[in-house]
Amino acid sequence: MTLKEVFDKHQIDIKHLNVDALDVQAGHETYQRFDRFNKKYNPFSQSDLREIFLKTDNYIGGRYLAEITQEMFATYDAYKYEFCELRISVYGININYCNNLIGKSPKEWEKVSEWINKYQLYSHHNRWMIQVPRLYEVYKKAGLINSFQDMIDNIFKPLFEVTLNPSINPGLYKFLLQVVGFDCVDDESVYEKTPSSSMFLTLPENWKHSENPHYSYWAYYLWANIYTLNNLRKARGLNTFGFRPHSGEAGSPDHMMAAYLLADGINHGIKLNKVPVLQYLYYLKQIGIAMSPLSNNK
């Protein structure tokens, strides 16, 4: 389809195209509602427009998103003191998403690094963060993975391999030199069972349940792999990665407790004001908190 055909399909009049009509600005009803906030990434509330403009893996190879990113970099490069950390998602599956699941594709890391290098999305004013959505339950139900270990392998195995042998994927090796850390994200307000000792005694290869592991379980295995990978990269004189997950945007204090033990910093952390002792521990250990004073207090 041409872009005009897409717009015609959704009855979008080009003459009346403006920021307000896009309906992507967060209003009062979106604050502290992850589900509503997430929908704002769909221009005109249409998911296929999100696919076209905001995805790296689509029928046009992420061209639009790359061009928007290039424009942003040009703006930042014109200023001396403005910097950013753009996030790009790695889902932990080896599937090509172009509208429908249409079969096997090269591994995710290969596709991401190919996109970065094809469009030369490097800037002295940007470093990349890797965002891991906690979507085990979705992929398990879809039959895309068999166990939690599959997700961990898909996320980290290529990174260990290319660190040991850069020649197997020079593009990924180059991209990782511009990566500064890992984030993990999902709707923290979704109900979770209280974590139990039996949950933590279940190894990832044996986690074949249909439900998503608890936030703490996710955090531990992401941290453990990042920690081990960092030791390997440090021994080889390479850059290392921080662990800075979304935590305390909503949901249980358990999330912020796990992050206190494992994270280099967190995003949001607004629920710390409900647990003063934990807030004080974050202060004593100087664990950084990245937050938006506007949206996080609305």
Mention every residue, 6+ apart, whose C-beta is less than 8 A from residue 170.
none
Assess contact for 207 and 213: CB atoms under 8 A. Answer: yes
Backbone region of residue 156 per phi and psi (left: phi > 0; alpha: psi in -120 to 50; beta: other values): alpha
Pairwise CA distance, residues 115 & 130, whole Å? 14
To the query of whether residue 28 is one of the catalytic residues in this protein, the response is: no
Q: In what order do the strands lie in the sheet with 246-247?
A: 246-247, 265-268, 288-290
Assess contact for 138 and 93: CB atoms under 8 A. Answer: no
Pairwise CA distance, residues 156 & 13, whole Å? 45
**Which residue out of 214, 246, 255, 268 is catalytically annotated?**
268
Q: Give the pair of three-digit tokens for residue 19.
A: 């920021």
Pairwise CA distance, residues 291 & 167, whole Å? 39
106 φ, ψ (degrees, to nearest 5)? -55, 160
Beta-bridge mates of residue 289: 266
**The length of the chain, given as a count of residues:** 298
81 φ, ψ (degrees, to nearest 5)? -120, 20
223 φ, ψ (degrees, to nearest 5)? -60, -45
Active-site positions read: 268
